[in-house]
Amino acid sequence: MLTRRRALGLALLPAFIRDSRAFAESDLKITRVEPMVLRIGNRRDIVCARVETAGGLHGWGEGTTPPNVSPVLAQIRTLGKLIQGERAWDVEKLWRKMYITEENSLGGTLFAAISAIDIALWDIVAKQLSVPLYKLLGGKVHDRIRIYASYRWGNISRTRDAYFQRTRELIAEGATAGKWDPFGAYPGPDRQLSTAVLNEVREMVRGVREAGPNFDICVEAHGKFNMATAGRIIKMLEPFDPFFLEEPIPPESVEAMAALQRSTNIPIATGEGLQSHFNYRELLARQAARILQPDVARTGGITAMKKIAAMADANYVVFAPHNPNGPICTAASIHVAASSPNFLIMEEGNTQTGQYNQIFKGGWKASLASWEIPETPGHGADLSSDFVKEYRVNL
């Protein structure tokens, strides 16, 4: 009777658990970590890591942080030697090992390398279990990933009429939200914006709002301004009800950002440059932003990004992944977003995705409004040897 019950119980288990005997510990032993640079679409110098295991599985990660290329490649090689011989199963352990071992040299280069390797490890584990990655991160909360069109206004006239017309075109193409930086070149050392430019931007934003009463306007400021100018920008934008204002001041001063957020109901967005989940604590504690923008290639990969999403959720804050990089970052961010209840929207980033059908195993299913979530094992992005040969560059 006991044997029959056990047999029945095993039959009810998911296939990947029933077949766990096939998961020899040695199969996921890391044998090689190879960094490389690809040039795909309009994103140059995409830094990737290919992690191989003894059982023949491989995973792809990305740690693109322009303009740092050669230093990230060197750091991936260093970390690759550190984790060689370890098990790809142990993602959390390996993240901590890479972080602690190199903590005397913390910086963007290190976290880009950790990100690339971490994403590849998650890819391997999901492939080994034959499931799409989001199922390992808590399952699917969102059926599609909403995006905002990124910098699709182009070099048009800086007038109300031009922005009205272009926004109408974007809406007709399916866009429901869009982001651009309307402020032009970086100001002088005083970080001031002239009244003339402020008035010009007002009319551009007016054109977008009048063209799309329900269109979500995302305004980027690239941390260019001082507090006085940021206050004027906020006052100018408020009548147009923007979806968010991204980094109106440099992000280094959490206290200053918090003061701006308290001054307005416009959600302030920030966080693209922060490294690791540890550095989001103060931002959340001071309620300095209502939208967090972690970048999976800068903050420590999927392991850190999932924790950032959870920290934000505990503080009733949403997150909108920063996504200006390549297809592997896009794939990784999609899976974290799909499995996180407080996901809001994602940056479109790369607007030239002609090669993505060769990269995403189930095809690249996208519109200007949203993306489908890959359902193939792993994160869904894989690069064939022929693809690598065509797009790889040696630096």
Residues 152 and 279 in one domain: yes
Residues 127 and 153 in one domain: no
Tell me: pLDDT of 11 over 60: no
Is residue 13 situated within a structural domain?
A: no
Is residue 394 situated within a structural domain?
A: no
Is residue 8 situated within a structural domain?
A: no
* Percent above pLDDT 70 for the chain: 92
Residues 184 and 110 in one domain: no
Average pLDDT over residues 11-15: 46
Residues 119 and 36 in one domain: yes
Could you tell me the CATH number of the domain that includes residue 120? 3.30.390.10
Of the residues 131, 151, 186, which one is the last residue of a structural domain?
Answer: 131
Nearest to 182 by CA among 167, 44, 227, 255: 167
* Percent above pLDDT 90 for the chain: 84
Of the residues 131, 154, 180, which one is the last residue of a structural domain?
Answer: 131
Is residue 345 situated within a structural domain?
A: yes
Of the residues 131, 160, 179, which one is the last residue of a structural domain?
Answer: 131
Is residue 1 situated within a structural domain?
A: no
- The pLDDT-based confidence of 41 (bands split at 50, 70, 90) is confident
Give the residues across from 61 on adjacent strands: 49
Q: How many CB atoms lie within 10 A of CB 126?
A: 23
Residues 197 and 299 in one domain: yes
Q: How many CB atoms lie within 10 A of CB 70?
A: 14
> Is the separation of the CB atoms in 46 and 100 below 8 Å?
no
Q: Name the domain count of the chain.
A: 2
Residues 109 and 142 in one domain: no
Position of tokens 């279990």? 129
- The pLDDT-based confidence of 5 (bands split at 50, 70, 90) is very low
Q: What is the pLDDT of residue 107?
A: 82
Residues 58 and 199 in one domain: no
- What positions carry a catalytic annotation? 222, 322
Residues 51 and 164 in one domain: no
> Is the separation of the CB atoms in 51 and 59 below 8 Å?
yes
Question: What residues contact residue 40 under an 8 Å CB cut-off, 6+ apart?
Answer: 46, 326, 327, 350, 355, 359, 391
Is residue 205 situated within a structural domain?
A: yes
Say which residue, 317 or 350, is predicted with more confidence: 317
Total-model pTM? 0.92
Give the residues across from 178 on adjacent strands: 149, 217
Residues 306 and 370 in one domain: yes
Could you tell me the CATH number of the domain that includes residue 333? 3.20.20.120
Residues 143 and 257 in one domain: yes
Tell me: pLDDT of 375 over 50: yes
Q: What is the pLDDT of residues 313-338, one digit of tens each?
A: 999 999 999 999 999 999 999 999 99
Q: Which residue range(s) make up the domain with 127?
A: 22-131
Residues 301 and 174 in one domain: yes
Is residue 314 situated within a structural domain?
A: yes
> Is the separation of the CB atoms in 293 and 270 below 8 Å?
yes
Is residue 204 situated within a structural domain?
A: yes
Residues 165 and 202 in one domain: yes
